[in-house]
Amino acid sequence: MSHITLIRHGQANSGAKDEASYDKLSTLGHQQATWLGDHLRSTAAFHPRVFSGTLIRQVETAQSMGYGGILMQDERLNELEYFTLANLLEQQRGTEIPTEREGFITHLPMVFTAWQNDEIDNPPESFAEFEIRVSDVMHEIASGPGPALVVTSGGLISMTMRRFLGLDTTSMARVALAIMNTSMHRLFPIGDQLSPVLFNAVPHLETPDRHYAQTHV
Protein backbone atom coordinates (compact mmCIF):
# COMPACT_ATOMS: atom_id res chain seq x y z
CA MET A 1 0.00 0.00 0.00
CA SER A 2 1.39 3.42 -1.01
CA HIS A 3 0.95 6.77 0.67
CA ILE A 4 -1.15 9.47 -1.00
CA THR A 5 -0.76 13.24 -0.84
CA LEU A 6 -4.00 15.02 -1.66
CA ILE A 7 -3.77 18.59 -2.94
CA ARG A 8 -6.62 21.04 -3.28
CA HIS A 9 -6.57 23.02 -6.51
CA GLY A 10 -5.41 26.63 -6.60
CA GLN A 11 -7.76 29.57 -6.15
CA ALA A 12 -10.52 29.42 -8.75
CA ASN A 13 -13.07 32.03 -9.85
CA SER A 14 -14.26 33.00 -6.38
CA GLY A 15 -17.05 35.24 -7.70
CA ALA A 16 -18.79 32.41 -9.54
CA LYS A 17 -22.39 31.34 -8.95
CA ASP A 18 -22.40 28.09 -10.94
CA GLU A 19 -20.16 25.12 -11.66
CA ALA A 20 -19.00 26.15 -15.14
CA SER A 21 -17.95 29.70 -14.32
CA TYR A 22 -16.13 28.57 -11.15
CA ASP A 23 -14.04 26.01 -13.04
CA LYS A 24 -10.92 28.01 -13.95
CA LEU A 25 -7.91 29.15 -11.95
CA SER A 26 -7.34 32.76 -11.06
CA THR A 27 -3.94 34.34 -11.64
CA LEU A 28 -3.23 33.78 -7.95
CA GLY A 29 -4.32 30.16 -8.28
CA HIS A 30 -1.68 29.56 -10.94
CA GLN A 31 0.94 31.24 -8.75
CA GLN A 32 0.01 29.14 -5.71
CA ALA A 33 0.39 25.99 -7.79
CA THR A 34 3.75 27.11 -9.20
CA TRP A 35 5.08 27.76 -5.72
CA LEU A 36 3.88 24.36 -4.53
CA GLY A 37 5.57 22.58 -7.44
CA ASP A 38 8.81 24.47 -6.74
CA HIS A 39 8.59 23.47 -3.07
CA LEU A 40 8.10 19.80 -3.84
CA ARG A 41 11.08 19.77 -6.21
CA SER A 42 13.31 21.70 -3.79
CA THR A 43 12.60 19.13 -1.06
CA ALA A 44 13.20 16.22 -3.46
CA ALA A 45 9.70 14.89 -2.83
CA PHE A 46 9.27 11.54 -4.59
CA HIS A 47 5.92 11.06 -6.30
CA PRO A 48 6.23 8.87 -9.41
CA ARG A 49 2.46 8.95 -9.91
CA VAL A 50 0.39 12.13 -10.30
CA PHE A 51 -3.39 12.13 -10.63
CA SER A 52 -6.10 14.74 -10.98
CA GLY A 53 -9.75 14.92 -11.75
CA THR A 54 -10.89 16.11 -15.16
CA LEU A 55 -12.07 19.57 -14.03
CA ILE A 56 -10.21 22.51 -15.57
CA ARG A 57 -9.10 23.96 -12.22
CA GLN A 58 -7.65 20.62 -11.14
CA VAL A 59 -5.78 19.99 -14.40
CA GLU A 60 -4.49 23.58 -14.53
CA THR A 61 -3.18 23.23 -10.97
CA ALA A 62 -1.23 20.08 -11.85
CA GLN A 63 0.12 21.75 -14.97
CA SER A 64 1.22 24.89 -13.12
CA MET A 65 2.91 22.63 -10.56
CA GLY A 66 4.96 21.25 -13.45
CA TYR A 67 3.38 17.78 -13.62
CA GLY A 68 1.36 18.08 -16.81
CA GLY A 69 3.58 15.62 -18.66
CA ILE A 70 2.93 12.70 -16.32
CA LEU A 71 -0.59 13.59 -15.21
CA MET A 72 -3.24 10.85 -15.17
CA GLN A 73 -6.83 12.14 -15.11
CA ASP A 74 -9.70 10.30 -13.42
CA GLU A 75 -13.19 11.81 -13.28
CA ARG A 76 -13.82 10.06 -9.95
CA LEU A 77 -11.51 12.70 -8.44
CA ASN A 78 -13.86 15.50 -9.53
CA GLU A 79 -15.51 17.72 -6.96
CA LEU A 80 -19.07 17.34 -5.73
CA GLU A 81 -21.37 19.82 -7.50
CA TYR A 82 -21.89 22.24 -4.62
CA PHE A 83 -23.40 25.08 -6.67
CA THR A 84 -25.87 22.67 -8.25
CA LEU A 85 -26.87 21.23 -4.87
CA ALA A 86 -27.20 24.70 -3.33
CA ASN A 87 -29.40 25.93 -6.18
CA LEU A 88 -31.60 22.85 -5.95
CA LEU A 89 -31.98 23.33 -2.20
CA GLU A 90 -32.94 26.96 -2.73
CA GLN A 91 -35.52 26.07 -5.40
CA GLN A 92 -37.03 23.18 -3.44
CA ARG A 93 -36.86 24.43 0.16
CA GLY A 94 -36.20 28.16 -0.08
CA THR A 95 -32.76 27.92 1.56
CA GLU A 96 -31.04 31.08 0.36
CA ILE A 97 -27.48 30.91 -0.95
CA PRO A 98 -25.17 33.26 0.99
CA THR A 99 -23.46 36.16 -0.73
CA GLU A 100 -20.63 36.49 1.82
CA ARG A 101 -18.13 33.89 3.05
CA GLU A 102 -19.41 34.02 6.66
CA GLY A 103 -22.79 32.76 5.52
CA PHE A 104 -21.28 29.58 4.13
CA ILE A 105 -20.19 28.54 7.63
CA THR A 106 -23.81 27.57 8.33
CA HIS A 107 -24.93 27.01 4.74
CA LEU A 108 -22.45 24.27 3.81
CA PRO A 109 -23.42 21.94 6.70
CA MET A 110 -27.10 22.46 5.81
CA VAL A 111 -26.46 21.48 2.19
CA PHE A 112 -24.40 18.43 3.15
CA THR A 113 -26.99 17.26 5.70
CA ALA A 114 -29.92 17.68 3.31
CA TRP A 115 -27.95 15.89 0.61
CA GLN A 116 -27.04 12.98 2.87
CA ASN A 117 -30.66 12.65 4.04
CA ASP A 118 -31.93 12.53 0.42
CA GLU A 119 -33.87 15.75 0.98
CA ILE A 120 -32.67 17.28 -2.31
CA ASP A 121 -34.61 15.98 -5.29
CA ASN A 122 -32.70 14.98 -8.44
CA PRO A 123 -29.13 15.76 -7.34
CA PRO A 124 -26.34 15.15 -9.88
CA GLU A 125 -25.29 12.22 -7.67
CA SER A 126 -26.39 11.03 -4.26
CA PHE A 127 -24.30 11.49 -1.14
CA ALA A 128 -23.87 7.71 -0.98
CA GLU A 129 -22.68 7.59 -4.59
CA PHE A 130 -20.15 10.33 -3.92
CA GLU A 131 -18.88 8.48 -0.85
CA ILE A 132 -18.51 5.23 -2.79
CA ARG A 133 -16.61 6.78 -5.71
CA VAL A 134 -14.20 8.55 -3.35
CA SER A 135 -13.59 5.33 -1.42
CA ASP A 136 -13.08 3.33 -4.60
CA VAL A 137 -10.59 5.70 -6.24
CA MET A 138 -8.57 6.17 -3.04
CA HIS A 139 -8.32 2.39 -2.64
CA GLU A 140 -7.16 1.93 -6.23
CA ILE A 141 -4.53 4.66 -6.01
CA ALA A 142 -3.25 3.34 -2.68
CA SER A 143 -2.93 -0.14 -4.21
CA GLY A 144 -0.60 1.12 -6.95
CA PRO A 145 3.21 1.21 -6.91
CA GLY A 146 4.90 4.18 -5.25
CA PRO A 147 3.72 7.40 -3.55
CA ALA A 148 1.06 9.40 -5.38
CA LEU A 149 0.09 13.05 -5.68
CA VAL A 150 -3.63 13.61 -6.19
CA VAL A 151 -4.78 17.06 -7.29
CA THR A 152 -8.47 17.35 -6.45
CA SER A 153 -10.91 19.58 -4.55
CA GLY A 154 -11.96 20.44 -1.00
CA GLY A 155 -15.19 18.47 -0.93
CA LEU A 156 -13.47 15.29 -2.02
CA ILE A 157 -10.69 15.82 0.53
CA SER A 158 -13.25 16.35 3.30
CA MET A 159 -15.06 13.16 2.28
CA THR A 160 -11.75 11.29 2.41
CA MET A 161 -11.18 12.60 5.94
CA ARG A 162 -14.72 11.56 6.87
CA ARG A 163 -14.01 8.04 5.66
CA PHE A 164 -10.71 7.60 7.51
CA LEU A 165 -11.54 9.55 10.69
CA GLY A 166 -15.19 8.57 11.09
CA LEU A 167 -16.45 12.17 10.91
CA ASP A 168 -20.13 13.01 11.02
CA THR A 169 -21.54 15.16 8.25
CA THR A 170 -21.35 18.46 10.16
CA SER A 171 -17.69 17.81 10.98
CA MET A 172 -17.04 16.91 7.35
CA ALA A 173 -18.50 20.28 6.31
CA ARG A 174 -16.31 22.13 8.82
CA VAL A 175 -13.27 20.34 7.44
CA ALA A 176 -14.26 21.39 3.91
CA LEU A 177 -14.53 25.02 4.99
CA ALA A 178 -11.04 24.93 6.50
CA ILE A 179 -9.19 23.56 3.47
CA MET A 180 -6.92 26.13 1.81
CA ASN A 181 -6.07 26.38 -1.87
CA THR A 182 -3.04 24.21 -2.83
CA SER A 183 -2.92 22.73 0.67
CA MET A 184 -1.50 19.22 1.17
CA HIS A 185 -3.15 16.35 3.05
CA ARG A 186 -1.35 13.02 3.41
CA LEU A 187 -2.72 9.52 3.93
CA PHE A 188 -0.13 7.01 5.13
CA PRO A 189 -0.50 3.24 5.44
CA ILE A 190 -0.58 2.17 9.08
CA GLY A 191 -1.33 -1.50 9.47
CA ASP A 192 -3.77 -2.53 6.78
CA GLN A 193 -5.40 0.86 6.21
CA LEU A 194 -4.59 4.45 5.35
CA SER A 195 -4.48 7.02 8.14
CA PRO A 196 -4.33 10.83 7.87
CA VAL A 197 -0.90 12.09 8.98
CA LEU A 198 -0.96 15.60 7.45
CA PHE A 199 -3.77 18.13 7.04
CA ASN A 200 -3.97 21.56 5.37
CA ALA A 201 -0.21 22.06 5.07
CA VAL A 202 0.94 25.06 3.01
CA PRO A 203 4.74 25.24 3.53
CA HIS A 204 5.08 27.01 0.18
CA LEU A 205 2.92 29.88 1.51
CA GLU A 206 4.40 30.29 4.98
CA THR A 207 6.90 33.11 4.39
CA PRO A 208 5.51 36.56 5.35
CA ASP A 209 5.54 37.79 1.75
CA ARG A 210 3.18 34.94 0.76
CA HIS A 211 0.66 35.05 3.62
CA TYR A 212 -1.74 36.95 1.36
CA ALA A 213 -1.86 33.82 -0.82
CA GLN A 214 -3.29 31.61 1.96
CA THR A 215 -6.81 31.56 0.57
CA HIS A 216 -9.89 29.44 1.16
CA VAL A 217 -11.97 30.68 -1.80
Does residue 203 fall inside a structural domain? no
Q: Which helix (H) or strand (E) holds 201?
A: strand 193-201
Q: What are phi and psi of 193, to 5 degrees?
A: -145, 160
Does residue 201 fall inside a structural domain? no
Does residue 207 fall inside a structural domain? no
* pLDDT tens-digit series, residues 149-189: 999 999 999 999 999 999 999 999 999 999 999 999 999 99
Does residue 49 fall inside a structural domain? yes
Does residue 215 fall inside a structural domain? no
Query: What is the distance between the terminal CA atoms of the chain, rounded to a whole angstrom?
Result: 33
Does residue 206 fall inside a structural domain? no
Q: Residue 118 is part of a domain; what is its CATH number?
A: 3.40.50.1240
Q: In sequence order, which ranges of 2-55 are alpha helices (DSSP H)? A: 19-22, 27-42
**In which domain, by residue range, is 160 found?**
4-196
Q: Taking the model in full, what pTM does it have?
A: 0.94
* pLDDT tens-digit series, residues 57-107: 999 999 999 999 999 999 999 999 999 999 999 999 999 888 777 788 899
Averaged over 122-134, what is the pLDDT? 97
The contacts found for 129-132 with CB under 8 angstroms, 24 or more apart, are 130/80, 130/159, 131/159, 131/162, 131/163
High-pLDDT (> 90) share of the chain, %: 87
Q: Pick from 198, 191, 217: which is nearest to 149 by CA?
A: 198
* Structural domain total, the chain: 1
